[in-house]
Amino acid sequence: MVLERWFRNAVCIAIAATALLAGRAHAQPEQGWRLCNQTSYVIEAAIARPEGQGIVVEGWTKLRPGACNFAIAGTLTPGLHFLYGRSSSAHRGGARHWGGDQKLCVDPSGSFSVENPPDCSSYGLEQRRFRPVLIERRSRWQTTFTETNEYSLEKAEAAGVQRLLEDAGVFSGRVDGLLGRKTRAAISEFLSMNDLPADTSDADLIDLLEQAATEQAREIGFTLCNRTDNRIWSAIARRRGEDWESRGWWQLEAGGCARAIDEPLVQTDYFVYAEMEVGDGRVRTLKRASDSFCVARPKFAITGRQDCEAAAYRTARFTATPAPQDEKLVFEFFERDFDRARTPADG
């Protein structure tokens, strides 16, 4: 149980952890491809496996911090597979990705299994970059997600609880996997606030914290939504300290949304830029856009808004948004907001 186990002394914790790992080993004799999460983030994983002459892409396998789960159960087919991971939308600070260079199609909105098509967008899918994993045995294979801080599975679970406590607005402190007095007090507070028993399991605690953090995220930040029938590439600009900053790109499929800022908004000016794809290399940009900021072709974060071309960027016209309300702003792009179609060479 959560609080009982965390309040034990170091010797008891080590013994309990050893017994737990041994128990897991006996409880999971299955064959297959097992994914383990040695990070402080809740990770959603997608895998790709060979099938016939094609590649089948499947997702999403949820991995709690410090936990393992099977992405493929049963006998494996040795050979080249692919793996991609994304952090849960509950986490602040922008999405984290674990991948490589292999471009494959995913459905970002929910569970899916699809034979990878040549064009993602024509099937309502989005492209993500996977990393190769060479599976060499038929019985069992394991791949581990890691981050800069090297955690054991036990410390990853503790660090994950700390991070989710912070994301949910309950705790503010170091995410280090060490459950000190401050972290234990935050856990007790969260359980008490939600009328939960002190013997709530580790897995349930993480799931409940993720839900609370997701609900918290909906109440703050800057969200961009596409209310058109075409794909949009969007960027934002705002004042940061004494200077200006522009950031992009967020890919918005028809009807989709993306969170550009996942922290409470301050009362300052915000701006948006968008390009709508309409085919044949043509795009539509926002009408009545008059505020100049710098943008770049790849993903960017640019400080300053002067002399863009001199710094190898280009100048783009942004439009001002309404003021945020209650530390939150949702900006929706509609068909009526865009000018006539043009090619990039039209300027």
Q: What is the pLDDT of residues 85-131, one digit of tens each?
A: 999 988 887 788 999 999 999 998 889 999 998 888 778 888 899 99
For the segment 232-246, the average pLDDT, to the nearest whole number, is: 92
What's the distance, CA 99 to chain centroid?
12
Reference 314, options 299, 332, 329, 296; nearest CA is: 296
Residue 119's pLDDT is: 86
Residue 22's pLDDT is: 44
Q: Is 200 helix (H, G, I), strand (E, B) or coil?
A: coil
Reference 113, options 49, 35, 37, 70; nearest CA is: 49
Residue 42's pLDDT is: 97
5: pLDDT strictly greater than 80: no
Residue 94's pLDDT is: 75
Residue 28's pLDDT is: 54
Burial (Cβ within 10 Å: 0-12, 13-18, ≥19) of residue 70:
middle
Residue that is written with structure tokens 């008059």 in the block: 290
Residue 176's pLDDT is: 92
HSE (CB half, 13 Å, CA atoms) of 234? 30
Residue range 42-97, pLDDT digits in tens = 999 999 999 888 999 999 999 999 999 999 999 999 999 999 999 998 888 778 89
190: pLDDT strictly greater than 70: yes
Compute, in degrees rounded to 10, the torsion defined by CA atoms 274, 275, 277, 281.
-170
Q: How many angstroms separate the CA atoms of 152 and 146, rounded? A: 10
Question: What average pLDDT is seen over the chain?
Answer: 86
Residue 343's pLDDT is: 64
| Selection from 57-61, 179-183, 199-203 with the highest mean pLDDT | 57-61
Residue type, 192: S
10: pLDDT strictly greater than 70: no
Percentage of residues of the chain with pLDDT beyond 90: 56
313: pLDDT strictly greater than 50: yes
21: pLDDT strictly greater than 70: no
Query: Could you tell me which residue, 320 or 171, shows the higher pLDDT?
Result: 320
For the segment 146-156, the average pLDDT, to the nearest whole number, is: 93
Reference 222, options 92, 93, 91, 330; nearest CA is: 330
Q: How many angstroms separate the CA atoms of 91 and 340, rounded? A: 38
266: pLDDT strictly greater than 90: no
Sign of the torsion formed by the C-alpha atoms of 78, 83, 88 and 89? negative
pTM: 0.71
Say if CB 72 and CB 33 are below 8 A apart: yes
Reference 160, options 281, 268, 34, 67; nearest CA is: 67
